[in-house]
């Protein structure tokens, strides 16, 4: 027979999900409070009396799992009036353009910022007193959520309404800054302004940087996190991982993405498999040869396992590909951009006819480094760190930083 104390313990833990959730304390060991948690601690005071438009998706969650949508909709401190969704939609499941709709739970309009327009229009902003942004980013320049935020800041400034960012951790840390700068003539929806590929900033810090460097003129307020440190990876925060987009399925993928993502237009990066951005390949790649040269490059913090795979969607759908599974052995030692640039160099050497190197230019976004790679050479950290635009970024970034 089960001892009564054991039975009682099991009963209590079974009943826990039935209890009303309560905000977690900032003093909880290993816990980082998101901006929405801090805002709730403040009883939403910064938004008092305002009609709010909320830019968010499924990642907009408080630490107890309650969505930012629900929290702002239920409070009587402010009035949630409209929702805005980024790429992948309000639920984060779409991999195509998304139309505007109505949120079934609240009855609020959901305006898509990844459909007919990528900016809030004057009509969408009519009647709003403020825009609030709460979306989890992954710390890479060519992830579109940061551009959505910047475009919305620009439109808020034009409309004369304040812009609030509910900050969240950079899941791959705030210390490492890697990769060449985006050339000024290569800015786009996947690169709002010249920055390195891995910028080491949170969304709140990016908002401060964009607002100053682009002279947007937004009335910006960042609701900062409590307890986050620049050295923290996601596993240091007590945060639950939520896939920020359909193919970003793990912290491992997020760490690899700044480098592996560079190859996305040229070969398969594992979309349509169980491990996007953790495996790469193409029908014309011989796994053993590719693996051998990657190992010879002597990259730190990473190992390679040869494999064959067949994607069931995206590039090379239904076609057997040879390639490698990328294994992180030490995330502290790994330079993800160097990994991506070495893979480009190796593919250029092994398969000059099959590997369309020009297809990496859009995301790499740096002509000088592109020419180095096309010449059959390997770009190193020294190549991008000597760039005066990179130096300016390092210096200008300092004033935007919020956390130690």
Which two tokens mark 357? 């190197």
What is the per-residue pLDDT for 386?
Answer: 86
Burial class (CB in 10 A: 0-12, 13-18, 19+), 172: buried
**Domains of the chain from N-terminus onward:** 31-244 (3.40.50.12170), 251-365 (3.90.1150.140)
What is the per-residue pLDDT for 26?
Answer: 40
In the chain, which residues have pLDDT < 50? Answer: 1-29
The CA–CA distances, whole Å, from 371 to 187, 220, 337, 357 equal 19, 39, 16, 10
- Could you write out the DSSP letters of every residue in 217-279? ---EEEE--BS--TT--GGGTTPPP--SBTTB-SHHHHHHHHHHGGGTTTSB-STTSSSTTTE
What is the per-residue pLDDT for 379?
Answer: 78
Cα separation, 357 vs 400, in Å, equals 35
Cα torsion angle, 30, 173, 234, 113, sign: positive
What is the per-residue pLDDT for 352?
Answer: 96
Q: In what order do the strands lie in the sheet with 321-328?
A: 279-282, 321-328, 302-309
Q: What is the pTM for the complete model shown? A: 0.90
- Tens-digit pLDDT profile for residues 202-241: 999 999 999 999 999 999 999 999 999 999 999 999 999 9
Closest CA to 371 of 341, 340, 393: 341
Closest CA to 25 of 60, 63, 59: 63
- Tens-digit pLDDT profile for residues 19-78: 333 333 344 446 899 999 999 999 999 999 999 999 999 999 999 999 999 999 999 999
For strands 79-85 and 109-112, give the pairing: parallel
What is the per-residue pLDDT for 30?
Answer: 63
Closest CA to 171 of 133, 208, 203: 203
Q: Specify whether the CB–CB gap between 207 and 149 falls below 8 A.
A: yes
The percent of residues above 90 in pLDDT, for the chain, comes to: 84
């Amino acid at each position: 027979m089960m001892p009564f104390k054991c039975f009682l313990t099991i009963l209590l833990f079974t009943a826990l999900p039935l209890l009303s959730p309560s905000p977690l304390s900032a003093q909880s060991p290993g816990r980082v409070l998101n901006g929405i948690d801090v805002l709730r601690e403040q009883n939403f005071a910064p938004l008092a009396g305002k009609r709010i438009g909320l830019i968010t998706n499924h990642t907009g969650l408080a630490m107890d799992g309650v969505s930012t949508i629900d929290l702002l909709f239920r409070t009587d401190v402010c009035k949630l009036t409209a929702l805005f969704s980024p790429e992948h939609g309000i639920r984060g499941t779409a991999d195509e353009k998304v139309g505007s709709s109505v949120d079934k739970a609240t009855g609020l309009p959901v305006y898509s910022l990844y459909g007919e327009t990528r900016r809030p229009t004057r009509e969408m902003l009519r009647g709003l007193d403020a825009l609030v942004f709460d979306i989890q980013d992954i710390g890479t320049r060519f992830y579109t959520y940061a551009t959505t935020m910047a475009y919305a800041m620009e439109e808020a400034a034009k409309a004369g309404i304040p812009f609030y960012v509910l900050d969240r951790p950079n899941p791959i840390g705030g210390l490492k800054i890697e990769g060449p700068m985006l050339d000024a003539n290569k800015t786009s929806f996947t690169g709002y302004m010249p920055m390195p590929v891995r910028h080491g900033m949170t969304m709140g810090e990016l908002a401060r940087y964009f607002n100053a460097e682009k002279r947007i003129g937004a009335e910006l307020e960042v609701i900062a996190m409590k307890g986050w440190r620049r050295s923290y990876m996601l596993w240091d925060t007590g945060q639950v991982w939520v896939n920020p987009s359909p193919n970003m399925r793990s912290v491992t993928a997020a760490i690899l993405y700044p480098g592996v993502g560079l190859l996305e237009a040229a070969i398969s990066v594992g979309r349509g498999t169980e491990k996007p951005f953790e495996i790469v390949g193409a029908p014309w790649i011989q796994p053993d040869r590719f693996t051998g040269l990657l190992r010879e490059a002597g990259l730190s913090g990473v190992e390679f396992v040869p494999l064959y795979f067949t994607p069931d969607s995206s590039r090379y759908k239904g076609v057997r590909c040879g390639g490698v599974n990328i294994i992180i052995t030490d995330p502290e030692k790994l330079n993800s951009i160097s990994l991506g640039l070495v893979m480009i160099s190796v593919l250029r050497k092994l398969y000059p006819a099959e590997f369309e190197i020009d297809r990496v230019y859009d995301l790499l976004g740096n002509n000088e480094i592109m020419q180095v790679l096309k010449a059959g050479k390997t770009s190193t950290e020294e190549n991008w760190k000597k760039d005066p635009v990179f130096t300016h970024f390092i210096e200008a970034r300092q004033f935007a930083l919020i956390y130690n």
